[in-house]
A and B are shown apart, each in its own frame.
Chain A
Amino acid sequence: MLITLIRTVLLYVFIVLAVRIMGKRQISDMQTSELVITLVISDIASIPMQNTAQPLLSGVLPIMILVALEIIVSVIMMKSKKFRKVVCGNPIIIIKNGKVDEKELKRMRISYDDLYSLLRQQEVFNVSDVKYGIVETNGSISLMKEEKNQ
């Protein structure tokens, strides 16, 4: 038990440092890849925390590599637009001049209920009030309202 306690403290400090090195971001602002890496890191760390027969390094080493790769990928994304497109994808227009693009909606597997819910969260209660609705690469929606409604 004492080993578990010491290991948990060590891994906690290590994960806090790792997340600090990756940079501050809210979960809602994360790109899909960043969210996946955050989840994977927490999962990897839990294995040597619970199983004391497993060397601590078997948890620390993959976290170190993931953090390093995440930083390198984010730097490359900043410098190369093409690479950014490959990793994050493109923002997609789903509402154009008050009309929902059903094809894009189906392609992104967003239901009308989900879309209306996203619109309501942005205080829009009628699709016709929206000039452009764009689904960003992190899954959030940006709206440009019709001028008369702004």
Chain B
Amino acid sequence: MKRVWIAIALLLVSGILCVSEYTLINKQCDEYTSIIKKADEHVKNDEFEKAVKECKKAEKQFTKSDSIMNVFLIHGDVDDVTNNIAMLKKYAQYECKSEFLSLSAKTKRQLLSLQKSELPMFENIF
């Protein structure tokens, strides 16, 4: 009977890990996407200083949470997003509008893919 309880505990821990991973990744990706969207708007309106501020905010938040994200996700994927956010900041500082917009579109797609890859959908399971 003791072993059955251990099995139930293992399943519970696994379930909790899955739910917390899904919630955390979802929340973080939503946050970064909304910050990048704001920065996008600023760049489109040629407000580069405001865009730099948004990028710094995203970079700061991402540095804080990437250690937790690394526990759940392939480290390379998280590093790619970290590097892209750093590049976005540089593009905004040097006022490179087209480069900024293309990289921000790529980063948003990466964040969406991180989110979607954790969903229990047919294409992710098979």
Contact = CB atoms under 8 A, between A and B. Distances in A.
B17 A61 contact: yes
Contact of A23 (B3, B17, B18): B3
Contacts, number: 47
In this complex, the interface size class of chain A, counting residues with CB under 8 Å from chain B, is: 10 to 19
Q: Main secondary structure on chain A at its contact with chain B?
A: helix
Given A53-B76, A55-B74, A21 B13 contact: no
A68 interface: yes
Q: Main secondary structure on chain B at its contact with chain A?
A: helix
B22 interface: no
A65 B11 contact: yes
In this complex, the interface size class of chain B, counting residues with CB under 8 Å from chain A, is: 10 to 19
A68 B4 CA distance: 8
Given A61-B17, A64-B13, A71 B3 contact: yes
B70 A55 contact: yes
A57 B76 CA distance: 15
B100 to A, nearest CB: 28
